[in-house]
Structure 1
Amino acid sequence: MTGNVLTIRGLSKSFRRKRAVDQVDITVSRGEITGFLGPNGAGKTTVMNIVMGLVGADAGEIELLGVRDGFRRRDVRSRIGFLQEKPRIYPDMTARAYLHFFAGLYDVGDEDQRVGEVLERVGLSSVRGRLGTFSRGMQQRACLARVLLHRPEFLILDEPTLGLDPNGMADMRAIFREMKGQGVTLLFSSHQLAEMERICDSVIFMRQGKVIASGRQVDLMPVATARGAVSVELFEPVRDHTSRIALIEGIASVCERATNHLELTLTNPPADARHARAEVARLLALAGVTVLAITVTVPTLEDLFIGLTGADGAGPALVHHQLHPGRGILHGTRI
């Protein structure tokens, strides 16, 4: 099956006089991992709670697994796994008893086998003791096991890596990739940007209740960087050669950054950094300059996050602009 597992149009929600969600439009494509990003208080958790029917919306439409207001139907909810930000546990239960309890609620047919499988998958099969004695990370693993019990086709996870150590995050990453390989769609929020960068097919950014950008990471990167920004150190002074370099076919732009440093962009940048460096070296040889170093600028998801929301979370002013129609949409940019 193809298409979207989640489509949100014009979603709004206020708490007293505070607008927590403001005219939000979101789509989550089937079979993909979508990261949900934004500063604390951006509205991500509220959107997730509305999608699951835990909070009522003031306005907007939600289509969940092809069903309008699907959160109202038990048969639709039974196909979803939802992990809230704070672990919901029964502290006096063991992990195994906790999962058996929910397996009964989910009407899992092969209960004993399935409980054993998910405990093994989250690394808790040999752990004894009550959940109340578990660390935050272990409690998070137990909760993840709970939402995997009934083999959902769509996972909505709010901060699933919170409290996990590096080994735990690596395990979680492997689980997410495994789930995707099985055809499961994932939407999850996290402040672990390096982890999201590794596994997400696309991202959604929120700030102050609004979606300010959405799409694939490469399509949302600053245009100059995404199109092949390259830093070059020359032996000769840059100003003596800038005009000649700018005329070389294959170089889109060139800018002096320091006496012996320039930044240029390629008209058709190669897909990987190694080939980009080779292409720059070949082109600059035509200008007769001595190249000492070539560095391809590779922006990170953190760079994108800070660029969209501001280093202090205050964020950019909002304007509407579209990049790469049908792929990535930048709803807000710094002006």
Structure 2
Amino acid sequence: MNSLAFDTEKYFLGKLCKNKHEWENAGQSLRSKGNKHCVACMQMPNAALQKARQDRAKKEAALRDEWNEQLIQNGIDVKVFKLSTLCENNHDWNETGKSLRYRLQGSCVECRKNFLKERYQANKKGHLQRCKLYAQANSELIKEIKARYREKHREELREKNRRYSELNKEQICARAREKIKREDYKVRIKLYSQRPEVKAMRKQYLQTEAGKISQAKGSRNRRARDRQVHRTPYIKKDIKQLREKFNNSCAYCGCSSSGIQIDHWLPLSKGGSDTLSNFLPACKNCNMSKFNAEGKAWYEKQSFYSIKRWRKIEQHLGKLVCKGQLPLF
């Protein structure tokens, strides 16, 4: 660039101004050393300059509205964040050519995350120690905050736990089996279960419908484990769906008493498996009457035998199971 083309003591070539006044195709604007303003902007008439500023403000407002709409569509709070010029590390947000920044501080979100991550890794031991000391000094406050959060988001947490249980059923059961084998865990459980308040809570829980289902499931699991028969994991929801499939009534006699139990079609004592495909809802009388008898032979001898109910049982269990083959799922 020919520096003699302008007075270098008064002017210099700087960043291109907002009105795009480019000097001699240099990609820069000629600026005054005194106030660093663009010389061409200062020479513009006041009306033209005002109009240029208004046009520029409208374009910037339209761009901001467009960027804010993109942030809202991605679930980002526009009161906290904004899209602005690319940061020095070129963190491009969703290929917009802009960086996601904090509205107040103006710093890049990704740069801030990386900085905090690096600082945590460099001071991990000290950070964990500080957290531990804080938790010990404010244990009651932390419990109160967690309790308020659980109360406020009870349904969300319940749904989240339900989805996690469905997706990770095998891993949860495996971890639980490993955990109950540890001696220290057995001691803690024994001491906890002996507390008077825990006994009262357990007694109250077992009187509810969910408690009765849980107690019956534990009894089935224990008998299946003692007899070393084939088992597959299942949850309360599976039992509930099985009962609803038979209209919350006995699969054998059709009565809808409140004491509907779960019967093993092929008895555990004869090698039957503890699986959903071997379960049938039964009233107490039918369950005790059948005991460990062969299912079809016993059912045909009963006065309440129904070919319609038998076909529904056969449809649920499968013909091979009804003929005595062990179900595997």
TM-score, length of structure 2 as denominator length = 0.18
The structure with the largest strand share of the pair is 1
The structure with the largest helix share of the pair is 2
TM-score, length of structure 1 as denominator length = 0.18
Asked which structure has the greater CA Rg, the reply is 2
More relative contact order, 1 or 2 (CA 8 Å, 6+ apart): 1
